[in-house]
């Protein structure tokens, strides 16, 4: 998890699509054992150590479980300074998440706000998979959704 923390602390946009739960995510699956990035790992960082992060996306199940007042990956990442953090509060599915991430990043790269990119990605998932990604009902978004990720 040390390399992942370094990557998280030194990037401006950090998105991961993996397995997760309310207080952690899987970084890799190895036959010798999995490695994780956990709530405790991020909690141990100094205050504002993620302030260079404009956007963190946890494309995993349950990273935002419990909502805005819970101890979860979205909230701790935001508390450590990330400007915007997005995570899902329930189960996510591989194909739908791949589509969502693709269109979120495309729309963001075109200069739209994070909120506009979220709405577009949700719409594309519905069109391509006939499944609603839950909008803000199933997502927990902490921070500034009016910012743009390109300037």
Question: How does the average pLDDT of the chain come out, rounded?
Answer: 90
Of 138, 136, 40, 142, give the one whose Cα is nearest residue 82: 142
Residue 37: how many CA atoms within 13 Å on its side-chain side?
A: 27
What is the structure's pLDDT at 21? 97
99-149 pLDDT tens trace:
999 999 999 999 999 999 999 999 999 999 987 766 556 899 999 999 999
CA-to-CA separations, 7 to 39, 43, 50, 108, 139, in angstroms, rounded: 16, 16, 10, 21, 24
> Residue 9: is its pLDDT beyond 80?
no
CA–CA dist 39, 76 (Å, integer): 7
Burial of 46 (0-12, 13-18, 19+ CB in 10 A): exposed
């Amino acid at each position: 998890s040390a390399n992942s923390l370094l990557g998280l602390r030194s990037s401006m946009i950090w998105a991961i699509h993996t397995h997760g739960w309310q207080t952690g995510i899987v970084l890799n699956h190895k036959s010798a054992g999995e490695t994780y990035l956990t709530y405790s790992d991020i909690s141990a960082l100094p205050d504002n150590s993620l302030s260079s992060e404009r956007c963190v996306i946890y494309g995993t199940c349950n990273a935002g479980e419990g909502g805005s007042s819970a101890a979860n990956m979205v909230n701790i990442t935001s508390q450590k300074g990330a400007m915007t953090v997005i995570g899902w509060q329930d189960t996510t599915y591989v194909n739908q998440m791949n589509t969502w991430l693709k269109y979120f990043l495309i729309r963001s790269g075109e200069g739209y706000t994070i909120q506009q990119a979220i709405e577009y990605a949700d719409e594309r998932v519905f069109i391509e998979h006939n499944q609603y990604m839950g909008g803000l009902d199933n997502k927990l978004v902490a921070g500034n959704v009016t910012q743009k990720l390109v300037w």
